Amino acid sequence: MQSRGLTRGLLISLCFALSGPVPGAKGAGSAPPPEEARRLVVEAFESGRPSLLAPLLPANAKVHLSLRTIGPARGLYGGGQLVVLLQQFFSRCQPEEFRASPAERESPTAPVNLHGLIVCRSPEGKIAVKLNLVLEPFGENWRLSEVWETG
């Protein structure tokens, strides 16, 4: 009988754990306005210093990449791998300009699609890469979940 009660208790605990944070609980706050996350992305791409993306990179998750010019990279990559790919790209292509769309979202829990255009100079000439970056609210922060080239 005690075994059945223990099993029921474990199942209830598991259900609570899987359902996510309790509203109002510590750590359940909403992410700040997306402009701060947008600022980090813009600074990283304008300066050619992808390490500035560190606060947006998930520690225990992967970022979905689809990059032809910057990569090649297609699939799920760790945050550190993304930084290395961008460092390699910036070592051969000096950034001159990065334009990004405003960081807008439909609701406080919705992700942000940030459209960007990076223009850089390589030994072969100017290169322009159109990007889409998806930023997701993650607790009280933002997390970069996807990066792909759009054209």
pLDDT at 68: 93
The answer to whether 110 and 94 have CB atoms below 8 angstroms apart is: no
Distance CA 84, CA 33 (A): 28
Pairing of strands 73-77, 63-67: antiparallel
The pair of three-digit structure tokens given for residue 78, joined into one six-digit string: 């760790």
Backbone angles phi, psi at 71, to 5 degrees: -80, -120
pLDDT at 22: 39
Residue 105 lies in a domain: yes
Q: Which domain holds residue 138?
A: 31-149
Task: Look at the chain and report how many structural domains it folds into.
Answer: 1
Residue 22 lies in a domain: no
- Listed as ranges, residues in the chain with pLDDT below 50 are 3-28
Residue 66 lies in a domain: yes
**CATH code, domain with 68:** 3.10.450.50
Residue 113 lies in a domain: yes
Residue 67 lies in a domain: yes
Q: What spatial distance separates the first Cα and last Cα of the chain, rounded to whole Å?
A: 63
Backbone angles phi, psi at 42, to 5 degrees: -60, -45
pLDDT at 111: 92
Residue 121 lies in a domain: yes
Distance CA 31, CA 69 (A): 32
pLDDT by residue (tens digit) across 96-125? 999 999 887 888 788 999 999 999 999 989
The answer to whether 91 and 113 have CB atoms below 8 angstroms apart is: no
pLDDT at 60: 86
Residue 1 lies in a domain: no
Distance CA 128, CA 122 (A): 11
Residue 13 lies in a domain: no
